[in-house]
């Protein structure tokens, strides 16, 4: 028996908290297998086993403090890790001689004789009962043997890198269950990182054997996420288990069992064919796999649609999201059609619904007081995921960056008129044209004159790093929390190209499925708080950027024209926040004035477009 000494786990660290044991006393462990998780004052560290053996004793309990260079657990790396040697060692330790092994084996022989007598007695029963018993035992043994063999043949799906610097994520939703058969690229689980919700898809078709994490638990990158058996090995094991089961059954029982098995297999094949067949009810033994993205397959599962029933308009017959939506729209239109013969049925259904609605209204009036009293509840919701990261970053930005704010108002009357003229043209290309593309393009043009707004400060604050591309981010209020995806290279894009990117990023952010590349590399940010309401705001800079602007709501207000007459104009308020370490008031005022001029005179932007 050897003691495992807790090694050095960080410079200057002398003790740590034992967060979780990944093993227990009596477990047989392998070399480099993770055995414990400890928390230092810097990070969560995983402790691997130095060599294989059997865990004899754990010296620390979860939650206790373990000291560096002190024993953490004891392991026996000798041959006594298997069951027989373990029994031999325990008996020898208790009684002091090896002869007790014989006394342990004697009851085993008597037990075998007893089982033999029982089997002889049971053989005197009727042949029908014996046959049924043998069949149930063989089926149970086959099922347990198959499950055990599948477990041995299973492979672990290793959680890959899902973002730069991300070491763990929260398991949000399992879309499959243990025992389910999955296809390649099928969505298996949704995980939440500190930046976005990420879909994990199957790497190859197979059968799910076991989940290593439950919903709500944190899974670590580069560790097994779930175990599965590929289709080839599952089919091979099914064939082997069937052959071994048949060899144990008598010839008469085999003749009785064979039709039943054939019927069961035929029924299973029909069920699978029914599930995968289209609305025409055709059964096909094998059909070519139709290409589609995981998001499209998830949409099909949500609406319980068969992908073979939808005509794909993409390359090589790929089914697109637009194809699924068009199919759903067509199905809804077909369901809402009512023939004259069914008109009396619709009228009767309407009367029934009216009576039910009146009954529900009476019940709701009775329970209204109870509902009002139960609208509020006391609860604690953990701060995690995107919300937790936003909280940390906002505190860091507001405490480390000396903010100063600069406010102004924009007359966007002409810009709104230009957008109204171009809106129909953009819709022909399937693009929703908002004010955001114009605002971003004007900002990128102003950056060319004042590039300091597109820079950032080095980590040691010794250099100003000018960026070669203007990547403008926009804050999106999503279900997962505040996200700031950015449009790359705005200075090189047209208005329609920017509008297309804005639409894509907005949809992705609101669904919580923004790619990591879309969240990195931002140089300037826009907070469109005016879309929800409010005239003024004091935004916090999105580190490591040096400026952010908050857009207020647009109001129709009276203003004086050049001749002194009062006229109605569309006014939008703006508030800039700048990093006062490298930006002064004059710099941001000049930048904002140029940006304002482009927006108030959108036709002059044409002169600056490259």
Report the pLDDT value the prediction gives residue 91, as an integer from 0 to 100: 42
Per-10-residue mean pLDDT for the chain, 610 residues long?
78 80 90 85 78 88 86 75 42 38 34 41 44 47 56 79 76 89 88 78 88 89 88 59 48 48 46 44 51 72 80 77 84 56 45 53 52 71 77 87 94 94 92 94 95 93 94 86 90 94 91 84 93 88 94 94 92 95 93 96 81
Strands 181-182 and 197-201 come out as: unpaired
Q: Are 206 and 494 in contact (CB under 8 A)?
A: no
* Predicted local distance difference test score (pLDDT) of residue 573: 95
Other C-beta atoms closer than 10 Å to the C-beta of 291 total 15
Q: Is the full-model pTM beyond 0.85?
A: no
Q: What is the per-residue pLDDT for 436?
A: 95
How many secondary structure helices (H) and strands (E) does the chain include?
16, 26
For the question of residue 580 being annotated catalytic, the response is yes
Distant-in-sequence, close-in-space partners of 559: CB < 8 Å, separation ≥ 6 = 411, 566, 567, 568, 569, 571
Residues 6+ apart with CB under 8 A from 403: 538, 540, 541, 577, 578, 579, 580
The full length of the chain comes to 610
Among 584, 597, 601, 603, which one carries the catalytic annotation? Answer: 584
Torsion over CA: 378, 380, 386, 391 (sign): positive
Predicted confidence at residue 338, as pLDDT, reads 41
Catalytic residue, chosen from 88, 175, 580, 597, is 580
- Give the torsion through C-alpha atoms of 217, 220, 222, 226, to 10 deg: -10
pLDDT of residue 365: 55
pLDDT of residue 353: 53
Which is nearest to 158 in space by CA: 212, 195, 208?
Answer: 212
Q: Which residues of 174-205 are buried (b: 16+ CB within 10 A; e: fewer)?
A: bbbeeeeebeebbbbbbbbbbbbbbbbbbeeb
Beta bridge partners of residue 486, listed in sequence order = 473
Neighbours of 245 (CB within 10 A): 19
Two tokens, residue 507:
């949809």
What pLDDT score does 370 carry? 53
The question of whether 8 is a catalytic residue gets the answer: no
């Amino acid at each position: 028996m050897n003691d495992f000494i807790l090694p050095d786990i960080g410079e200057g660290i002398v003790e740590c908290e034992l967060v979780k044991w990944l093993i227990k006393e009596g477990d047989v462990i392998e070399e480099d297998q993770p055995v414990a998780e400890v928390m230092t004052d810097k990070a969560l560290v995983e402790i691997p086993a130095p060599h294989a053996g059997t865990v004899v004793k754990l010296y620390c309990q979860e939650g206790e403090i373990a000291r560096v260079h002190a024993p953490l657990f004891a392991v026996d790396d000798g041959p006594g890790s298997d069951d027989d040697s373990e029994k031999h060692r325990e008996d020898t330790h208790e009684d002091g001689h090896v002869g007790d092994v014989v006394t342990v084996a004697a009851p085993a022989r008597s037990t075998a004789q007893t089982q033999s007598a029982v089997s002889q007695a049971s053989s005197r029963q009727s042949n029908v009962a014996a046959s049924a018993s043998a069949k149930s035992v063989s089926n149970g043994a086959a099922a347990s043997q198959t499950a055990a063999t599948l477990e041995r043949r299973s492979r672990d799906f290793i959680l890959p890198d899902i973002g730069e610097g991300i070491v763990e994520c929260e398991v949000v939703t399992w879309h499959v269950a243990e025992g389910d058969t999955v296809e390649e690229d099928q969505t298996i689980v949704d995980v939440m990182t500190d930046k976005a919700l990420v879909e994990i898809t199957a790497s190859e078709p197979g059968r799910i054997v076991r989940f290593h994490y439950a919903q709500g638990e944190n899974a670590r990158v580069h560790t097994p996420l779930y175990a599965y058996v590929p289709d080839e090995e599952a089919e091979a094991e099914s064939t082997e288990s069937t052959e071994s089961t048949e060899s144990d059954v008598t010839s008469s029982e085999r003749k009785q069992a064979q039709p039943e098995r054939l019927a069961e297999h035929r029924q299973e094949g029909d069920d699978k064919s029914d599930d995968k067949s289209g609305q025409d009810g055709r059964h096909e033994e094998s059909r070519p796999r139709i290409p589609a993205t995981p998001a499209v397959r998830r949409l099909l599962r949500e609406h319980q649609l068969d992908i073979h029933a939808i005509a794909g308009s993409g390359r090589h017959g790929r089914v697109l999201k637009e194809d699924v939506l068009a199919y759903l729209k067509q199905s809804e239109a077909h369901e809402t059609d009512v023939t004259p013969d069914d008109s009396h049925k619709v009228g009767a259904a309407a009367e029934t619904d009216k009576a039910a609605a009146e009954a529900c209204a009476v019940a709701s009036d009775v329970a209204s007081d109870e509902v009002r009293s139960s609208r509020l509840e006391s609860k604690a919701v953990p701060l995690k995921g995107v919300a937790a990261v936003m909280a940390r970053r906002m505190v860091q930005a507001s405490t480390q960056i000396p903010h100063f704010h600069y406010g102004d108002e924009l007359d966007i009357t002409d810009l709104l008129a230009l957008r109204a003229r171009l809106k129909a043209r953009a819709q022909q290309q399937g693009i929703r044209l908002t004010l955001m593309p114009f605002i971003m393009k004007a900002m990128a043009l102003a950056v060319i004159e004042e590039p300091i707004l597109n820079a950032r400060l080095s980590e040691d604050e010794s250099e100003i790093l000018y960026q070669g591309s203007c990547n403008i981010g926009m804050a999106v209020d999503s279900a997962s929390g505040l996200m700031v995806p950015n449009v790359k290279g705005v200075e090189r894009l047209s208005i329609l190209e920017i509008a297309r990117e804005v639409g894509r990023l907005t949809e992705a952010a609101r669904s919580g499925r923004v790619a990591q590349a879309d969240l990195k590399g931002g140089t300037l940010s826009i907070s469109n708080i005016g879309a929800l309401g409010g005239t003024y705001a004091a935004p916090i800079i999105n580190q490591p950027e040096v400026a952010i602007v908050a857009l207020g709501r647009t109001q129709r207000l009276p203003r004086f024209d050049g001749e002194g007459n009062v006229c109605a104009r569309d006014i939008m308020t703006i508030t800039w926040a700048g990093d006062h370490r490298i930006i002064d008031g004059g710099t941001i005022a000049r930048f904002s004035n140029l940006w304002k001029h482009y927006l108030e005179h959108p036709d002059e932007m044409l002169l600056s477009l490259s």
